[in-house]
Chain A
Amino acid sequence: MKAAPFAYHRPASVAEAVDTLATGDAKVLAGGQSLVPVLAMRLGRPGTLVDITALSELGRLERRGDELCLGAAVRQRRVERDPLTAAVPLIGRAMPFVGHRELRSRGTVCGSLAHADPAAELPAVAACLGAVVEVTGPHGDREVPAASFVTGAMTTAVSPDELVTGVRFPTAGPGEGFGFAEIARRHGDFALAGVAVRVRASSSGALRDATLAAFGVSDRPVVRDVTDLLADATTEAELRPATAALAAEVVDTAGDAHGSTAYRARLLGVLAARELARAHREALA
């Protein structure tokens, strides 16, 4: 279990990183928590690794207006511990489920997005909240909405010569409620099914909108506007028939020995009802 030969490059600037990626057959290394095992098992053998962790311009974690901005080199553990993260409560709810603490101390938020594992938590959180992914490449900078960032299992809208430089999450305003839950065989495992939920109420206390992102159940996070569901059902029990129907429609993963398609659909229906009810209570509290 040793990697095939590769070149290692540690650029001094984002521009240099992009130049290196342009040579082809290169892969970006950030936290390495997914990439390094892939290399060791020789499931992937890029000619060059471009290590971006030393790029200080990608190390920002800051609040700008109603956005929380994270650079591509920012580790998950730093995000988890930084007081600024409280502005995006859903990140705080989801982060304890991202691997284990040891993995989060190396793994990056943007790396998780770029890796695009169908069962990963952070792409679902980003998609649920309508985050924006910042990308740069030989043709300049561009922004990709998180909801359309993941294009399939382990594939994204980023082309091989491009680099994710950061992500911007909208901060929570008054009258917003959140829910996050997942079920895995063990704590820290990839989810068999999970949901990230946001419910927003207007200043008058009326339901404004509700969004649900499901993960672990398809080849990418599945985002649904579920405002209508909450219009006439707000408790877990009341929501269950509708969320079960939603789950049956959303779940299309082939399943495995840890969770068949049908079991994942059952779990998604249960979790969606629980978390929507919770988020609704929070939003209208």
Chain B
Amino acid sequence: MSEPTWTPARDEDAALVSGTGAFLDDLDPLPGTLVAAVVRSPHPHARVRGADLERARNHPGVAAVIGPDEVRAAVRPFPLSTATPMPYLPSAVDTARYVGEPVAVVVATDRYVAEDAAELVVIDYEPLDVVVDTRRALEPDAPLLHDEAGTNVATDRTFAFGDVEGAFAAAAHTVRGEYTFPRYSSVPMETYGVVARWSEDADGPAVQAWANFHGPFTMVPVAAGALGLPTSRFRLHVPADIGGSFGIKSGIYPYVVLMALASKHAGRPVRWTEDRIEHLLASSSGAGRVMAFEAAVSEDGRVAALRADLVDDVGAYLRPPEPSTLYRCFGNITGAYDVPAVAIRARAVVTNRAPTGLNRGFGGQQLYFGLERLMDAVATTTGLDVAEVRRRNLVRTFPHRTPTGGLYDSGDYARALEMLVTKGGYDELRARQVAAREAGAYYGVGLALVVDPSGTNIGYVGLATPAQDRTPGRDKSGSTEIVRASVDVQGVVTVLLGSVPQGQGHATVARRVAADRLGLPVEQVRARIEMDTATTPWTVTSGSYSSRFAPLVTSAVIAAVDRLAESVRGAATVLLGLAPDAAARLELADGEVRDPSSGTSCRFRHAAGLIHWDPGSLPAEVPARTSAEGEFRPPEAVAATAEDRINSSLCYGFVAEMVGVRIDPDTLEITLDRVASVHDAGTVLDPVLLEGQVLGALVHGLGGALYEEFRYSDAGQPQSATFLDYLCPTSAETGFDLVSDHLESPSPLTPLGAKGCGEGSSMSLPVAIANAVADALAPAGVVIDSLPLHGEALFQRMCTDVVAPATTSVHVPDEGGLP
């Protein structure tokens, strides 16, 4: 018997599986740090008439208690993406607007004492009327969350591209559907964590904070601004190890502000570690959406135009980066299809629920749930097979410019669909369906095709503001990444990544990319993960979100090591006795710098050593560069046009997915019989990591399809604040038959041809499962227009006269829009 061996797939793994990772709660960067507990509103909507903090302040072991007065006096509302007056502060000052909203912070010697004292905080609440339903919040007589706004609608924009009205007038069929996507999360294993210290420095107050925040770094000036500090005096550190986020931890920054203020009052550094109940109650989630989609369809099933009416429930505040859920997929809103005309109404509405934000598949989960359910409705109306109707509408040439301004850089959607149908066994699953129906059972097959955007162009944020109101010279754009590379005296190269990964394996891939580019063995390259806003290169678009690593960070790694290599080549000319202008022809391979014309070579490390030890020997035109920053700034990421067109991402990958489901006719339990998933993320940088991302996104999608949902009672009370009620799929739920494959359509826009791959199936699997369930139950005439789907959800649709909650308030005006 040989000893079991293990070869880690990633450089990060050995530390993680042996318990030596260093997560935020493992760090103790500042001696004497105290511990905070947050007092939260039990009311979904209430006026805060007063706060009695004295008993808590007098409790033994308590250093400080801050409440509405302290926050009002010291914190400015966060800058928002729209002009609608819905001021957002890190805690409630005059009004609490969701259950779990912070109202006070207790700082004490430890968490037990802090929680004991938190029970002594007395807040005088006057309950107000509550609105939790998205459609209800739109109505003129709905309770208002923000009186100054005079409406619950935080943003309402309409767009039209191409001849939409003409296409609908000429259409053989108009196919329409209303759909609801639930708010759900990705439930990272590690919760939010902050250590913050307020100090009075020589040039004024300053904050130093540690947080498991991962961007977008647009939130750094937002957080600093709330404290009235320049970003130069707001120094943020992010630990190298973050225990997952999938977007959720981008919502941590208000707590950084709150703990900085708590530290100011305590006179000591303050640590706050969110517990699981706090996390499920009030951290963040994807936005819920109600939407109506309409397609103008020809006799042969071609979609000539789309109308989309999107209403996002963003919770009690338009917390930045919302309303980005509406716009992240703006450039790819027509999905996989060549649709020349589209009209969009995009609204975000506030409700008495927790604020929303980034979640894996951001914006695409919601979009494709509507669009891909609609494509099934098109198939039903035209009598076409669901694969055939999609095939007829596919984008077939690349690059492809969408009517909304997106530029699909590369792809082969038709081939991906054929791979799916063939390798996934579409005909076989249809045969199973026939057999099941003959036996009186339910079996269904569902498809979903999604364009998977990566490398966000933050310019889409501008779309929330009408073009005429966007200030000239204050446009936003960009998908920039910056990386620093350095070489030491022994020729070891280090790439410094401020990419704030949450477990994706950035270091492993960056190291290999750099080694390949420099012709070095990986042992001679290190990748260091570190974010300190005072020393690490960063810009507002920095961060680990929007599947940026593969397309953007690796491109910046190449830019940085190329600049470094310029010096190494120059130094090599000295060692090889060549003229300085020979540097450009020198090749880097096998740890050497080679002159291809003569065959002579020197060691890379000797050339690097020369830069350190003997820079006096370098010719004047050779830079004595031992470190270099490289940035990747793709020219395709520009601000929105005056016509509101935008290329909202740099790269567009593709996912084709198929699901076969069985539904027990007695218990109505849904069983996944097969999942088939074909991905195109451009050039594959690491097949193992790609597979990991695919599996992770599938399980995330599975959660939204069958298990997870943040539910609220009509009175606004959360009903899923523990893992007893918020159900994440576990390994026991993932034993389905999976067929996975990929193709590679390299992006012409990134040096390696790579696109992002972290989110695809999060967007496609929820709707693929919904399509399969709808197909299975089609003989029973069951409407599937919302998630999650499970026995009880099907029972409500099939076996009761009670209309399901999701559709109770549907009323379709004559013009066919949402209210």
Contacts and interface: CB of A to CB of B under 8 A. Distances in A.
B792 A1 contact: no
B799 A262 contact: yes
Nearest to B728: A186
Contacts of A189: 724, 727
Nearest to A240: B666
A124 interface: no
B666 A270 contact: yes
Given A2-B115, A186-B733, A187-B733, A266 B707 contact: no
A258 B795 contact: no
Given A186-B732, A263-B795, A257 B719 contact: yes
A185 interface: yes
Interface in B710-732: 711, 719, 722, 724-725, 727, 729-730, 732
A5 B277 CA distance: 20
A185 B666 contact: no
A40 to B, nearest CB: 8
Contacts of B732: 186-188
A267 B667 contact: yes
Contacts, number: 71
B791 interface: yes
Contact of A1 (B116, B275, B727, B733): B275
Contacts of B490: none
A183 B791 contact: yes
Given A1-B276, A1-B277, A262-B800, A186 B795 contact: no
B667 A270 contact: yes
B736 interface: no
A258 B727 CA distance: 10
Interface in A154-170: none
Nearest to B733: A186
Contacts of A258: 725, 727, 790, 792
> Which of B277, B722, B791, B795 has the most chain A CB within a 10 Å cutoff?
B791
A56 interface: no
Nearest to A3: B112
B116 A260 contact: no
B799 A183 contact: no
A107 interface: no
A137 interface: no
A281 to B, nearest CB: 19
Nearest to A4: B116
A41 interface: yes
Interface string A173-185: 0000000000101
A165 B727 CA distance: 35
Interface in A261-275: 262-263, 266-267, 270
Interface in B15-37: none
Interface in A241-269: 257-260, 262-263, 266-267
A249 to B, nearest CB: 19
Contact of A5 (B116, B278, B725, B733): B116
Given A2-B111, A2-B112, A185 B790 contact: yes
A1 B40 CA distance: 13
Contacts of A260: 792, 795-796, 800
A190 B71 CA distance: 43
B669 interface: yes
Given A1-B277, A2-B111, A185 B707 contact: yes
B112 A186 contact: no
A257 B792 contact: yes
A77 B711 CA distance: 34
Interface string A9-45: 0000000000000000000000000000000011000
B730 A188 contact: yes
Contacts of B730: 186-188
B733 A183 contact: no
Most-contacted residue by chain A among B667, B725, B732 (CB, 10 A) = B667
A177 to B, nearest CB: 22
Nearest to B277: A1
- A185, A189, A260, A266: residue with the most chain B Cβ atoms closer than 10 Å: A185
A192 B711 CA distance: 18
Interface in B336-362: none
A183 B275 contact: no
A267 B791 contact: yes
Interface in B274-298: 275-278
Contacts of B116: 4-5
B570 to A, nearest CB: 59
Contacts of B724: 189-190
Given A2-B111, A258-B792, A41 B667 contact: no
Nearest to A262: B800
Interface in B502-553: none
A263 to B, nearest CB: 4
22 contacts: A1-B115, A2-B111, A2-B115, A4-B115, A5-B116, A42-B115, A183-B669, A186-B730, A187-B730, A187-B732, A188-B730, A190-B724, A257-B725, A257-B792, A258-B725, A258-B727, A260-B792, A260-B800, A262-B795, A262-B800, A263-B791, A267-B667
Interface of B: 111-112, 115-116, 119, 275-278, 666-669, 707, 711, 719, 722, 724-725, 727, 729-730, 732-733, 790-792, 795-796, 799-800
Given A5-B116, A186-B732, 7 more contacts: A3-B112, A185-B707, A188-B730, A258-B792, A259-B792, A260-B795, A267-B791
Q: Which 7 A-B pairs have the closest CB atoms?
A: A187-B732, A1-B275, A263-B795, A270-B666, A2-B112, A2-B115, A263-B792
